[in-house]
Amino acid sequence: MNPEIEKFINLTLIDGILTEQERKIIFKKAQENGFDLEELEIILAAKLYEKQQSINPKPKSEKLGGVKKCPACGSEVQSFHINCVACNHEFNNIDANVSIQKLFTLLNECENERANQEFSVGSALGNMFARAYGLGGGDKVIEKKKSIISGFPIPNTREDILEFLALAMPNSKQKGNFFTKQQPENKSHNDLAPTWFSKCEQVIMKARFAMKDDQKTIQEIEYYANQFYNN
């Protein structure tokens, strides 16, 4: 990677948060230097996750994407493999990867932080105004949610990948029309939609590559991809 780009990435991730504006600048610099943008997306997600873990370390058992072992032979589960590379055991209905439910739990915790913030900062009316127009603490909550979504590890197993796409894709679509997109009931959703879109696109891209030999799974992935890109 270009040293200048890498230095800029490290500087933007000091606080463990990557804003949309920072992401745009990084991608612009990478494009100007001929760097592969898909590869950059993967690097950014990994660096962001590592930084967040260093800022808020958790017990090993709670880490996202922690090391998992095959229940049949005990070998380490490799990312994006639906069978054990050592004994060919198929990973069905086991905890081979953190599910999307964990992601939604983290996002709900952010909303609880917002509620606590609003209760202590000022009047309900003032906080409603701030949240509706992206001011104050509400904006920080949105940025934190974007960082959580961007940095969440891509699922490893077929079941988790399909579950992720089924539950995440609706969040990647904008709500409302030109006149109603910024209304309070749509704004919070729409602020996160581009981040969800980017994450779903990353999951589809990785699944196509890693599961290219599993025709049944690829057909299911393409079904979701058609809905994702054509709706």
pTM of full prediction above 0.85 = no
What is the tens place of the pLDDT at every residue in 144-183? 888 889 888 887 778 888 888 888 999 999 998 888 888 8
Residue 117's nearest CA partner among 106, 102, 130, 133 is: 130
Give the pLDDT score at 123.
47
Rounded average pLDDT over 54-83: 56
Instruction: Report d(CA 168, CA 143) in Å as an integer.
Output: 18
**What DSSP letter does each residue of 91-111 carry, written as one string?**
--SS-SS--HHHHHHHHHHHH
Give the pLDDT score at 134.
43
133 has pLDDT over 60: no
Residue 59 banded pLDDT, cuts 50, 70, 90: very low
136 has pLDDT over 70: no
What is the tens place of the pLDDT at every residue in 111-125? 787 666 554 444 455
135 has pLDDT over 70: no
DSSP one-letter code for 169: G
